[in-house]
Structures are given as structure tokens and as C-alpha cells.
Structure 1
Amino acid sequence: MNRRMMMLALLAWACTAAPAVSAASPPVDDAATAQALAQAETRGREMFEHDLAAERATDALLKKRMRGDSRVRGWITEPKDNRYEVSMIGEGAVVLYRATTDARGILAGATEALAVPAAPTAYQAGAAAARTLAMQSRIDACAKRYNSVVLPAPGATTDAWTVYLLPATTDPAAVPLGGSYRFDIAEGRITSQRAFTRSCIQLKRAPRNAAMIVTHMLDPTPTEVHVFWSLWARSPLYVTTGEDVIWKIEDGRIHRVQD
């Protein structure tokens, strides 16, 4: 057994048998590495909070107002005053329902059903168009159904968006990391897109005091998708990215595991 395989075997044992593996802040080899880690943490948390807001708002609206409404085509999440406004939209991105949550997904105030659909704001129209463009693109799907997270592109001052397509699952034990995609969209066209895995890898939620583990060879450091799925699963995630290079993601923070 070579050193890499031995490390992975020992780490896999530690993830299932021990309460934790010692981790520390990564040695900052260069500014690019530090920036990549910071961006992954920030973007991964944003993805999680937007997705959680959409989930909780949808659940609340289905219980009281929205069930059976065939007009609904999707949703738009927008940060407002440290909260998230979730708008359920129909054809033409008109707003049919609204709900607001905080960053923890807790409903803030009552849900709202609009007697007269409201015309979309510039933000809602732009986000809805970007979402539609990504959803209609060809991908190697790993699930029958996909959820989407639409965020303004970092530092964007014009109509620029980042859309994440994330596999959905009804299995409470599954973490469908494989098949996650990102689309960068500007001025109504896709400027770049990427897959975060080469296969439909599916992790299992770790039991208490344990962690998940995955090998990732497409990037030198963990990505925002790894941060998102760790937060979504409410489980630490170990990511190996190279020979003897192992990272730990916990509570949305990335640390390099030290020898």
C-alpha cells in the first residue's frame, strides 16, 4: 500500500471511529490559494443560505397557500436587510407568492399570496432569465430533478449572474454531490460553465461524531460546492486534492489537515 492509500485508509477509519481529526489553518503558500479558499467559503455559505431559504419558504407556502397551483414555475431568492425574500414566480417571472426567512431558514412574518401577480423587479427578471438559461442547458444529469441557486456574479455591476444546478434527492441519507454544475451568465448568454465532478458520486450522511470523505482532482483546493454540501448535510467533509493533501470542511470553514 503506497503512502497516499495508507493516508486515505487511516482517514476513513478516523472519520468513522473517532470524534475528530486534528486540523489547523492551512499554510498559506501563496495569495491565490488563500483567495480560492476564502471565495469557496463565502460562496458556499451563500449557496446554502439561499437554498435553505427557498426550501423553508416552499414548505411554508405549500402548507397554507400554494399547493396545486400550476402557475408556479420556480423561485427567486434575494437578500434584503440580512434576510432572504423568496418569490414564487410564474410565466414571465411574475410574482405569485412571497415569503421571507432569516439566514437560518426561520420564517420571518407571514407568507403572502398576491391577489394580482406583480411584475418582476429588474433583479427578479434578470435572475429568472439566468435560471431558465441554465436549466435549459445540456448537462450530464445525475438526478431526475435539479434545484437551482441563482446569485449575482461576484462584483457584478451589470446583468451578470452565477447559477448553480444541484441534484435533488428524496433519500434522507444521501448527499448527491456528483452532478453539481455552475454557469456564469452575462448579458443573457452563458460565458462559462463547469461540472464539479466527473461522475455521479453520491456520499452518505455521516453518523454522529464522524465525517464524509471524497477525492477531488479537478481543483487544487476544495470548491464552493464542497462547502455547500457539507453545510447541507450538516456534516464535516474531508476532501483530498492531491498527493498527501487533505482538507477538512466544517461549519463552512476550510482547513488543511496537518501531518
Structure 2
Amino acid sequence: MVELKSAAALDAMREAGRVVAQALAAVRDAAGVGVSLTELDGVAREVLAKAGATSPFLGYRPSFAPVPFPGVICASVNDAVVHGIPDGYRLRDGDLVSIDCGAHLDGWTGDSAISFTVGTPRPADAALIEATQRALDAGIAQMRAGNRIGDVSYAIGEVAKATGAGMPADFGGHGIGRRMHEDPHLPNRGRPGRGFPLRPGLVLAIEPMFMAGGQDAYDVDGDGWTLRTADGSRAAHIEHTVAVTEDGPRILTLL
């Protein structure tokens, strides 16, 4: 069932989204050569605790996962696309890092992700991150009453096509609100004018995941969580929680 959120609910979701944005900003500031992914997870935990928020990631166990997720962030490095478990790996100069984070506050949830380079960026990585951001922006622009899910999906997919990027099959965005994952599912490719109608109060987590090699194939690590590009190419993942309103898209996870 799809729940359309009231204006008051959107304001509450904005507060949860603000906590997510603060956590991501703190993690990005802390990321540097020699810093471990576990340490970055600790930074995010501190931000959530200070805000009185909890993590929808920590302990989350969907049907495909062999174990509950052990962190409050997903930390995916280089060829890891999404769902990377924060561990003892220490960041190196030139690493491409994607951090996904969520917060649950006063009964509502926010979800967002960023991608960035540690130290000296490779030009190809910078271009990949920029293209992923453009895809997210294109999807957000379609979050208007009267459009359909397919319009958002198509906008994202067209940027991937123009860039030559692959996207992991079967993964995309999702509805969000009282829980992190709600209906409807948002594919990262689609046909314009098709799918669920966008109405004021609908909230989606929009999250393009671009793989530089151009393939859609991926492998799953032995941890049962981490998705990696099948060809070993780099990946980027950027996400915002966005609401459809009478006045157009409202991004709920901006800093």
C-alpha cells in the first residue's frame, strides 16, 4: 500500500532527513587517507545519537541477507556499488567512496547517499560521480504531480545511456516514510508515462547507481551484502529522499 504523506508528516520527514544530511557531511569531513570504514561508521553513529535518532540500517535483515546489517552506514569503495559493510579497511589516496545512511526520528525515516573521492581524484571517477549526480537531478525534476514513476525512471536511465554507464539490474529507489522501504518500487530505467501516478504526498528515495564499465552485471561478496561490479570497474551511488508537492519536488535530505 502506498501512503501519501500530509504536510505535517513531510515536515517531520524533513527533520529525519536533516539528521541524515548531517551524518553524511560529518562522514565526508572525517574521510581521509588512513581512516578506516569502521571509524566512519562511528562518526555517523555519534551524529544520530546526538540527534536522538536511530538507524534503520543497523540490524536490518531483508530476505536475501544471511546476517543482519552490522552498521549505520553502507560504505562502498571503488568497485563496490552499494551495501558495503563498514569494516577495518583503511582508505587510500584515490579511493572512490559511496556512503549511504538513514535515520529514524519521531516515527519517520530519511535516506540519502553521497559519492566522493579520497585524496587525488581520477578524472574518470570525477566524471562518473558527476554523471550520477546529473541522473539524480534529472529524476528529481520529474517528481511532479501528474507525472508517473516511469517518467522518473526514464530520466535516470537516459543519463546512464548517454554516459555509457551500467546500472545494477533489479536495484533502484523506493517509497519511504514510516519505514525505510515502502511501496512503490522505483526502477532506474523505465518508460515515460507509465507506472504509478505521482501525487502530492508521495515520497520516494531516488538513488541512481552508475557502474563505469557499462555493464549491468554485478556480483555479491561472501558477506551476502556487498554488490560489486562484475567487470571490476568503479561505481558511484547518490541518493535523496524527495516528496511530490503541489509546488513541485521537495528534497527532504538536504543539509
Q: What's the TM-score bracket when you normalise by the shorter of the two chains?
A: 0.3 to 0.5
Radius of gyration: which is bigger? 1
Higher percent of residues as strand: 1
By relative contact order (CA 8 Å, sep 6+), the higher-ranking structure is 2
TM-score between both structures, scaled by the size of structure 2: 0.35
